[in-house]
Amino acid sequence: MSASISPDSTSNPVKGIFWMIVTGLCFVAVTALVKTLGQRIPAAESAFLRYVIGLVFLIPVWRELVAVRLTSRQKKLFAMRGLAHSLGVILWFFAMTRIPIAEVTAMNYLNPVYVTILAVFVLGETLALRRAMAVVAALVGALIILRPGFRELDLGHIAMLGTALFFAGSYLIAKILSGELPASIVVALLSVTVTIGLAPFAFAVWVTPDLADLAVLAGVACFATAGHYAMTLAFAAAPVTVTQPVTFLQLVWSVLVGMLFFAEPADPWVILGGGVIMASVVFITWREARLRNVHRTPTVNETKG
């Protein structure tokens, strides 16, 4: 998805901020619902069922999807994106059942930073000194959250580092494809290819889910779809430089949900580290808005599944 970064007479910052708040609440709900599943259902299977259920939302674009004709190159790119996103989703679902919601949310802020780094190698972008400093600051924020050597790291933390990397790769491929195909097709084919990509991983560890688990995963699919829809409304209403800082509220919601429903104490280091990463992302976005850089840094939510 793309957002305007230039002032517009139709811009409505209040409306944009409202829809970005709704976006954040939806994505925190996704994390919380997945966490309620615990480890009863393997991460790969949970992710697969979420995408299978989510296919119902493709009905409005089904005719357009069937009619599209892809080149061999585009098919390869979609396959690569599907695989990268599938691996990212598996790691994301795994991490959500292992570490506190606030830590998952804070480490998700690394996604746009990874995109900035990978864009240098994939898209040939130049990493200016100020952007490089912002990237370094974001990585310092990640170290503040993880605090290696000062506490025991969980596999969920390692999984989140992998999640950010795979989602960044998926986003960059989407940037290439979005210049060749309608956005609706790029999004729809992501759902299809990820469902296919997750299938072998899910069947390898399959556990028969009960109706309650399926209901939770249906809720995950609904909130994820609603979150992406609310995000498009936010982008349409206001520039990304207005809506981007609002994504930090997701960390606030995550801390509150973790405390109220999962007995997860608020960790000031996680909040500090998340704040440092978010400030870096906001700075990069602001700089690119001023320079009108053709390769815009994505928002935190744009790289989500």
Decide if 7 is inside a domain: no
**Domain coverage including residue 246:** 13-303
For the chain, list the strands marked E by DSSP.
none
Q: How many domains does the chain have?
A: 1
As a whole number of Å, the end-to-end CA separation of the chain is: 13
d(CA 156, CA 163): 10
Q: What is the pLDDT of residues 193-224, one digit of tens each?
A: 999 999 999 999 999 999 999 999 999 999 98
pLDDT at 243 (0 to 100) = 79
Please indicate, yes or no, whether the overall pTM of this predicted structure exceeds 0.85. Answer: no
Q: 95 in a domain, yes or no?
A: yes
Pick the closest to residue 234 from 8, 6, 28, 11 (CA basis).
Answer: 11
Residue 244 lies in a domain: yes
Answer whether residue 152 is part of any domain.
yes
pLDDT averaged over the chain? 86
What is the per-residue DSSP string for 166-228?
A: HHHHHHHHHHHHHTTS-HHHHHHHHHHHHHHHHHHHHHHT-----HHHHHHHHHHHHHHHHHH
In a domain, 37, yes or no: yes
Mean pLDDT of 169-181: 86
Q: Could you tell me the sign of the dihedral formed by the alpha carbons of 150, 152, 154, 155, in that order?
A: positive
What CA–CA distance (Å, rounded) separates 4 from 237?
Answer: 9
19 and 231 Cβ atoms separated by less than 8 Å: yes
- In order, the DSSP letters of 34-55 are HHHHTTSS-HHHHHHHHHHHHG
3-state secondary structure (DSSP) of residue 148: strand
Determine the average pLDDT of the residues in 178-203. Answer: 90
**Selection from 216, 242, 194, 222 nearest residue 18 by Cα:** 242
Segment 42-71, tens digit of pLDDT: 999 999 999 999 899 888 888 888 888 999
pLDDT of residue 26: 93
User: CA triplet 234, 235, 239: central angle to 5 degrees?
Assistant: 110
**18 domain residue, yes or no:** yes
203 part of a folded domain: yes
| Arithmetic mean of pLDDT, 36-44 | 90
Q: Can you tell me the mean pLDDT for 124-141?
A: 83
The residue that leads in pLDDT, 248 or 255, is 255
* Residue 172, φ and ψ in degrees, nearest 5: -65, -40
Span 153-176, mean pLDDT? Answer: 90
* 2 found inside a domain: no
pLDDT band of residue 4 (cuts 50, 70, 90) is very low
